[in-house]
Structure 1
Amino acid sequence: MGSYIVKRILLAIPLLIIISFITFVLINLSPLDPAVVVLQAQEVPQITEELIAQTNKALGFDQPFMIQYVNWILAVVQLDFGNSYVSGEPVWSLMGPAFMNTLKLTLVSSVFIIALSILLGVICAMREGKLLDRSVRGVLFFLTAMPSYWLAAMMIWYFSVKLDLLPTSGMDSYRSYILPVIVITVSYTGIYFRTVRSSMLSNMNEDYVLYARASGLSEKKVTLHILRNSLQVAVSIFCMAIPIVLGSTVVIENVFAWPGLGRLSVKSILSRDFPIIQAYVLMLAVTFVLFNTISDIINAAMNPRLRKEF
């Protein structure tokens, strides 16, 4: 198992290097000169070619492309993403608190998503084809198809404006979590619910279930066996729930004015703050690769055959 973990980690390293290189290339392909962005943010009255050249030299953009990339990636390893072109502050001092705010929202939402997916998936699988199963699937399909920004707007209008029960924005107290968590949970539960339900139905037709019932095991114990085997299939999808929710909070954070990564990234895109955009993309990539690796390791721990095949 130890060798498998080492192999998976070593496999993730070149993938992250490739992603970081692509990110760096795409940002540098922008037709907008970073020096112009910096000078405009500093409100320089007259931007001349000489001033642009001096700024590019100060930022290191006069060096060969590969030298720029190597210097950038060596700094990133030390969590030094440079300074914001707009505010001049270190990027990490802006992204660190924003990342923690997004992570809090993501973790709370993911707990509810996974719990509801398992609960509803098991209940509907045990009542396949019945009214409850059809009703839950229909409601979840409708809610999943609904645009999250529209649902968020409706929730704000009803619970915050009409009833005046919950805050419309910010994260001043635990009450600020309620609406964004509900919107995220509603938007994603249907996706993971289908995985649990289909996995349960698949396992219910296996020979070991018939044998367990023939051996006189109670229905509760049989269900627990089915659930355990079903979750082995769903665990990889659940592991990816956190990075997927993390990456999709952009809309929710902007609707609810949540001071997280998503809101910061939109502001950075609008102001052409390239260092923050680079850091945001790279941070999401690292999160996806990390949780994908964790998912593979968990699957390998539960299924020894995967370790042998790797």
Structure 2
Amino acid sequence: MGVYIVKRLLLTIPLLLVISFLTFVLINLSPQDPAKLVLQAQDVPVITDELIAQTKHELGIDDPFIVQYMNWLTSCFQLDFGNSYVKDEAVGVLLGPAFFNTLKLTLVSSLVIIVSSVIFGAVCALIEGRVLDRFIRGLFFFLSALPAYLIGILMIWYFSVELDLLPTSGLESYQSYILPVSVIALTHIGLYFRTVRSAVLANLNEDYVLYARASGLPEKKIIVAILKNSLQVSISIFCMSIPLILGGTVVVENVFAWPGLGSLSVKSILSRDFPVIQAYVLIIAVAFVVFNTISDIINMALNPKLRAGE
């Protein structure tokens, strides 16, 4: 097990290097001149070629491409993503609070999604084909087909405007989590609960369930065993739901004016603040790799067959 973990962690190193290189290349393919953007952000009245050359030298973008990449990568290892072109502040200072706000929203939403998916998936599998099963599946299929911004606007109108129960925006108290978490959960539960339901149905037809019932084991113990085996199949999807939500909160954060990465990334794209965009893309990509690695390690720990074939 320990050898597998070490190998899996070592495999992430070249993958992370490729991701960092592609992130740097894609951002630098923009036709916009970073030096001009910086000078425009500083409200320089007359932008001359001398000023552009001086700014490029200060930013280090007049160096050869590979030198720029190595300097940027070395800085990233030190959590130094450079300075914002627009606000002239360290990117880390801007990303830090936004990242933790988005992370909190992501973790709360993921917890709600996982718990709800397990409950609804197990219930629907145990009552397969009944009216309630069809109703729940139809409801979540319908909700997952709706765009998040539409659900968000409807919930703001009803719960905040009509009933005056919940705040419409910002992050002021625990109540601020209710609407954005609900929107994220409603648009994601449909996918994950169907996965749990399918896994439970598959396990219900396994021989060990038949033998357990024939041996007279209590139904509760059998259901617990079925859920345990079903969650082994779903664990990868649940782990990957965290980076998916982390990178997919852009719409929800902008609807509810949530001070997170999604809102910051949209503002940075509109203002062409390349260092912030670069850091955002890198963080999301690294999150996918990290959580994919974690899901593989958890699967190895839970599944004896994988450990046997290690």
Structure 1 Cα separation of the partners of residues 309 and 258 of structure 2: 44
Question: What does residue range 1-310 of structure 1 map to in structure 2 within 5 Å?
Answer: 1-307=1-307, 309=309
Structure 1 position 308, deviation (Å): 5.1
* Residue identity in the other structure for 2:244: I
Instruction: Extract unaligned runs of 5+ from structure 1.
Output: none
Instruction: Extract unaligned runs of 5+ from structure 2.
Output: none
Structure 1 Cα separation of the partners of residues 205 and 306 of structure 2: 23
Structure 2 Cα separation of the partners of residues 73 and 45 of structure 1: 34
1:183-215: CA deviations, max 9, x gaps? 001010111000000000000000000000000
* Residue identity in the other structure for 1:123: V
Range that drifts further, 157-166 or 256-265: 157-166
Matched positions, count: 310
1:150-195: CA deviations, max 9, x gaps? 0001111111112111111000111111100110010101110000
* Residue identity in the other structure for 1:145: A
Structure 1 position 309, deviation (Å): 4.2
Q: Could you tell me the TM-score, scaled by structure 1's length?
A: 0.99
Partner SS state of residue 222, structure 2: helix
Partner SS state of residue 240, structure 1: helix
* Residue identity in the other structure for 2:231: L
Structure 2 Cα separation of the partners of residues 87 and 158 of structure 1: 37
* Residue identity in the other structure for 2:122: V
1:45-92: CA deviations, max 9, x gaps? 011111111100110011000000000000000000000000110000
Structure 1 position 221, deviation (Å): 1.1
Structure 2 Cα separation of the partners of residues 176 and 78 of structure 1: 33
1:212-264: CA deviations, max 9, x gaps? 00000111111111111001101111111111111100000000000000000
Q: Could you tell me the TM-score, scaled by structure 2's length?
A: 0.99
Range that drifts further, 158-167 or 194-203: 158-167
Structure 1 position 307, deviation (Å): 4.0
Structure 2 Cα separation of the partners of residues 54 and 269 of structure 1: 25
1:274-306: CA deviations, max 9, x gaps? 000000000001111110000000001112432
